[in-house]
Each structure stands twice: as C-alpha cells, then as structure tokens.
Structure 1
Amino acid sequence: MGMIEILLNGLFGGGRNVVRETAEVFRVNAEAEAGRELTLQHASLEQFAKEFRLERRSRFDRFMDALNRVPRPAMALGTMGLFVAAMVDPVWFAARMAGIALVPEPLWWLLAAIVSFYFGARHQAKGQDFQRDLAATIAAVPQVVQTVRDVEALRDVSPAEPTPAGEPAVETTERNPALDDWRATR
C-alpha cells in the first residue's frame, strides 16, 4: 500500500491534480472558459446598460437619437406623398417638378454624396451580413447534396421478398464479392 500511496500522492498530492494541470496545457478547461465568457458577457451588458441608461442621458442626446431615426421614414413617406400629390393635383405637381428641373447638376451630386454616405454604412453592414450568410449556405451544399444522394439511393432499394426456409435469398442488383466468395465455399 505504501508504494501505491506514494505514486498517487505524486500524481494527485498536495491538493493538486497533476493530470488535470497537464491536460490543460493541451486542451482548454471548458468550465473555466465558460466562466470567462460569462464574465465577459456580463461586462458587455453592464457597459451597454450604462451607455443607454435613459435617466442619465441629456436632452441633447435624446434629441439626437430621435433625429437620427427621421431620414429613412421621411424619405419613404415623402416619395409616396409625391405620388399622391401627382394624382390629386397634377398641375401643382408639374410646377414643382419643373422647379426641380432647374436645380444645378453639382447640387444633385452633393445630395447624392450625402445620401450615399448616410445610407452607405448601413448598406455595407447589410451586404457583409448577406455575404456571411451566403458563405455559410455554400459551405453546407456538399452535405445537402450527399443527403439528397442518400435519399435518392433509397428509392432504388426494394424490400427483399420473403423466401421459404432453406432457399437462398434473391440477390440484389449490386454484387458483393465477399458474399460471392462465401457462397462459393459452401
């Protein structure tokens, strides 16, 4: 018993687990990693809560947040309003469009640049999300193709007909060399 006890104390003695500590050199301790991730998530949520706490935000911050939400709905509703105006009062609408025709081209370019910069960042973020989803879908294609092939292969297999005792079973269309060798030895 003394030799085994010395060996076990060498491996696990002193309140340490040498095997576990050695294994952690090669593989991350999943429980400790989950704890670190939980701590990080809590810290992130606390940061967001501090940043977006309503009672601490000034009137200016709340006004700017509201103002940032205006352009997209205003442009969409304004465009629909133009269609309604063209149907309700075509003369009034024609006069306004004639006025817009007098706007110089550089001013149109400036408007296009402002709108592009405003919506460009959102478009880029959405485009990157789309490309990421597309890449994940494309990565799944080989598995889907294999699954379809497996299912299609099941279509060709018909259940074997029951045979009377002592008679050999009906062979399928595919040959099995190992089975043929076994039958030859009988």
Structure 2
Amino acid sequence: MGLIDRIFGMVFGGGNNLIRDTAEVFVENAEKGAAREAVMRGDALAQFAGEFALQQRGLFDRFMDALNRIPRPAMALGTLALFVSAITDPIWFASRMQGIALVPEPLWWLLGAIVSFYFGARHQLKNQQFHK
C-alpha cells in the first residue's frame, strides 16, 4: 500500500504532478496564460495613459504651436484664392503670374528647400514627441 501511495503521489499529487508538468511542456496552461495576458494588457494600458497624458506647457510653447499651424492652411487657402482670382479677374491674375515667371530658378529652389525643411522638421518633431 505504501508503494502504491508513493507512485500515485508522485504522478498525481504531492505538489509535483508529473502528468500536468509534462503536458505543460506541449500545451500552455490556459489559466496561467490568461493571467499573463491580463498583466500584459494592464501594462500596455498604463503605458498608453502615460504617453497621452496632457502636459502643462507655457504660454510661449502654446503660442509657437499655434503659429506653426498657420503655414499649411495658409498655403491651401492661398492656392484656392489664386483659382478664384483667376476666374474673377483674369487680367489681374495674368499680371501676377508674369511677375512670378520672372523669379529666377535658384530662388525657387531656395523656396522649395525652406518649405521642405519646415515641414520635415515639424514632422520629425511631432514624431519624436509621439515616441516619448
């Protein structure tokens, strides 16, 4: 009887269940997996909460952010205004376009570089702030 108890105790009980321990090598324990998943989700939510928490910024920072938001809408609305002016007053529009045609090519390259660096720097800054 003692030998049988020891064999059954070794296989099914005594803190070390040989069948369970062997099966967990091949199949995940669902209860432990769910606990790990819950901890992982909680950590992810805590990280998101930390990333998207509102930060107190000064008046100057808010003013500069507002100022940095002007160029894209101004360029879009300016382009639409050019279309409207071309339709409403073609002679005025043509005279302005003749003036633009006289701008030398290196100045156009400089304008393109300035606009590209402005938007590129802004994109990089916002991307870095997002990753913080």
Task: Mark yes or no: TM-score above 0.5.
Answer: yes
What is the aligned partner in structure 2 of residue 11 from structure 1?
16
What is the aligned partner in structure 2 of residue 173 from structure 1?
none
Higher relative contact order (CA 8 A, sep 6+): 2
* Aligned partner of residue 11 in structure 1, secondary structure: coil
What is the aligned partner in structure 2 of residue 89 from structure 1?
89
Shift of the 60–26 alpha-carbon distance from structure 1 to 2, 3 Å rule, reads farther
Q: CA deviation at 1:121?
A: 8.8
Q: CA deviation at 1:64?
A: 2.6
CA distance in 1, matches of 2:116, 2:25: 51
Partner deviation per Cα, 1:14-51 (whole Å, 9 max, x = no partner):
xxxx729x8379859532144123213312322320xx
Shift of the 81–119 alpha-carbon distance from structure 1 to 2, 3 Å rule, reads farther
What is the aligned partner in structure 2 of residue 45 from structure 1?
49
Amino acid at match of 2:16: L
Partner deviation per Cα, 1:100-153 (whole Å, 9 max, x = no partner):
12211111012222334426997xxxxxxxxxxxxxxxxxxxxxxxxxxxxxxx
Name the one with the larger helix percent.
2
Residues 29-38 or 57-66, more deviating: 29-38
CA distance in 2, matches of 1:24, 1:105: 70
Question: What is the aligned-residue RMSD (CA, Å)?
Answer: 3.4
For residues 10-159 of structure 1, the aligned pairs below 5 Å read 10-12=15-17, 19=21, 23=24, 29-31=32-34, 32-49=36-53, 52-53=54-55, 56-117=56-117, 118=119
Shift of the 48–25 alpha-carbon distance from structure 1 to 2, 3 Å rule, reads farther
Shift of the 25–72 alpha-carbon distance from structure 1 to 2, 3 Å rule, reads farther
CA distance in 1, matches of 2:49, 2:115: 33
Shift of the 61–27 alpha-carbon distance from structure 1 to 2, 3 Å rule, reads farther
Q: TM-score, normalised by structure 2?
A: 0.63
What is the aligned-residue identity percentage?
48
Partner deviation per Cα, 1:55-85 (whole Å, 9 max, x = no partner):
x111122223223332222211111101111
Shift of the 47–88 alpha-carbon distance from structure 1 to 2, 3 Å rule, reads same
Amino acid at match of 1:79: T
Higher radius of gyration, 1 or 2 = 1
CA distance in 2, matches of 1:65, 1:83: 29
Q: TM-score, normalised by structure 1?
A: 0.47
